[in-house]
């Protein structure tokens, strides 16, 4: 084990190249619904149990399944109402289990990025060859099912190895959502190719707010709005990125969906000159084209 994987260099928040998103927007805003499949009886990873109870953990497994059966549609309809496309953090096996949900997302021109094969298979203790198999499976499955060339990654259940970030660059991913060190994208140190970290706003992930901070739906709406206001203000100096990471099994409940709707209503009421409502891939592509080199220079100058 190492003290630091040195995946990125320190980069002061002040004095960065002045990023402007399309139309001069100050915040690039994206929504990332995690569409996940939790196996009822997965094999055991030595470092993490999939379920707190003996299998079948009916209570928790069914609570997760709620997202696909009931919550997803509700969440999707709110996004439709505000014309927000999703960037789907996809457990790849869901393509096989629930193709109906894939089709709905594809018809709406949502982006798909990989979130591992199942949310009950963790990367801990994988050797390089095994982790490559996950990435190759992801690339091939998404291409076959959607025609999209995979651009983004969020490790399944946020489980990583020392190799994960290097491998993503080698397989020509454009961005990773796995690193939370900043509110703007950052060029990463990878052994081959290029990769950027994409701000994923983990702190307003619905699971973090509902299950770690034990927040109410109204507090969730307020946190999202407050975060947006702050990033809009700071975006005047250097364009920021804000994500709402979601799980239909959390946000999609009848008692919670209105909080999310309130937040989307607020953000989308801003002008195009304030906020660029987009997807992870589009942010990454725009950043590579316009700012990657300048940002890399700025980072190098500081280190």
Q: Which residues bind other proteins (CB under 8 A)?
A: 37, 39-41, 43, 45-46, 53-56, 58-59, 62-66, 68-70, 72-74, 93, 96-101, 117-118, 121, 125-127, 130, 133-134, 210, 214, 216-218, 253-258
CB nearer to other proteins: pick between 16 and 256: 256
To other proteins, the closest distance from the beta carbon of 175 in angstroms equals 25
Nearer to other proteins, 90 or 295 (CB): 90
Q: Which of residues 31 and 126 has its CB atom nearest to other proteins in the complex?
A: 126
Q: How far apart are CA 214 and CA 229, in angstroms?
A: 23
CB of 285 to other proteins, least distance (A): 31
Shortest Cβ distance from residue 109 to other proteins (Å)? 20
Q: In the 3-class helix/strand/coil scheme, how is the chain assigned residue by residue?
A: CCCCCCCCCCCCCCCCCCCCEHHHECEEEEEEEEECCCCCCCCCECCECCCCCCCCCHHHHHHHHHHHHHHHHHHHHHHHHCCCCEEEEECCCHHHHCHHHHHHHHHCCCEEEECCCCCCCCCCCCCHHHHHHHHHHHHHHHHHHHCCCCCEECCHHHCCCCCHHHHHHHCCCCEECCCCCCCCCEECCCCCCCCEECCCCHHHCHHHHHHHCCCCHHHHHHHHHHHHHHHHHHCCCCCEEEEEEEEHHHHCCCCCHHHHHHHHHHHHCCCCCCEEEECHHHHHHHHHHHCHHHHHHHHHHHC
Closest to other proteins by CB, 10 or 254: 254
**Residue with tokens 């709402």, as numbered in its chain:** 244
Give whichever of 67 and 152 is closer to other proteins, judged by the CB atom: 67
Task: Give the closest residue to 249 by CA, choosing from 39, 33, 30.
Answer: 33
The answer to whether 34 and 28 have CB atoms below 8 angstroms apart is no
Least CB distance from residue 233 to other proteins, whole Å?
30
The least CB distance from residue 282 to other proteins, in Å, is: 28
What are the backbone angles phi and psi of residue 35, rounded to the nearest 5°? -105, 110
**Choice between 180 and 213, CB closer to other proteins:** 213
Least Å distance between CB 212 and other proteins?
11
CB of 179 to other proteins, least distance (A): 24
Is the Cβ of residue 20 or residue 132 nearer to other proteins in the bound state? 132
Report, in Å, the least distance between residue 153 CB and other proteins.
17
- CB nearer to other proteins: pick between 126 and 232: 126
The CA distance from 244 to 264, in Å, is 10
């Amino acid at each position: 084990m190492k003290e630091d994987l040195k995946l990125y260099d320190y980069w002061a928040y002040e004095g960065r190249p002045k990023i402007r998103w399309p139309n001069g927007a100050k915040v690039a805003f994206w929504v990332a619904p995690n569409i996940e499949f939790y196996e009822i009886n997965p094999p055991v990873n030595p470092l993490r149990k999939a379920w707190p109870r003996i299998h079948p953990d009916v209570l928790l497994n069914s609570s997760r399944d709620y997202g696909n059966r009931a919550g997803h549609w509700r969440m999707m309809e709110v996004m439709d109402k505000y014309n927000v496309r999703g960037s789907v953090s996809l457990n790849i096996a869901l393509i096989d289990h629930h193709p109906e949900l894939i089709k709905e997302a594809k018809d709406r021109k949502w982006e798909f990025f990989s979130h591992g094969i199942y949310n009950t298979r963790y990367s801990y203790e994988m050797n390089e060859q095994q982790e490559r198999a996950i990435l190759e499976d992801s690339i091939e499955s998404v291409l076959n099912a959607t025609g999209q060339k995979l651009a983004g990654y969020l490790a399944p259940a946020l489980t990583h190895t020392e190799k994960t970030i290097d491998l993503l660059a080698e397989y020509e991913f454009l961005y990773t959502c796995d690193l939370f060190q900043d509110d703007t994208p950052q060029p990463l140190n990878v052994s081959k190719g290029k990769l950027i970290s994409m701000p994923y706003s983990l702190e307003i992930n619905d699971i973090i707010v509902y299950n770690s901070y034990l927040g109410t739906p109204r507090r969730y709406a307020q946190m999202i709005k407050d975060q947006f206001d702050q990033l809009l203000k700071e975006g005047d100096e250097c364009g920021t990125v804000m994500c709402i990471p979601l799980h239909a099994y959390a946000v999609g409940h009848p008692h919670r969906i209105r909080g999310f709707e309130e937040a989307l209503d607020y953000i989308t009421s801003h002008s195009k000159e304030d906020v660029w409502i987009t997807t992870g891939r589009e942010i990454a592509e725009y950043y590579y084209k316009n700012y990657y080199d300048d940002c890399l220079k700025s980072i190098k100058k500081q280190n």
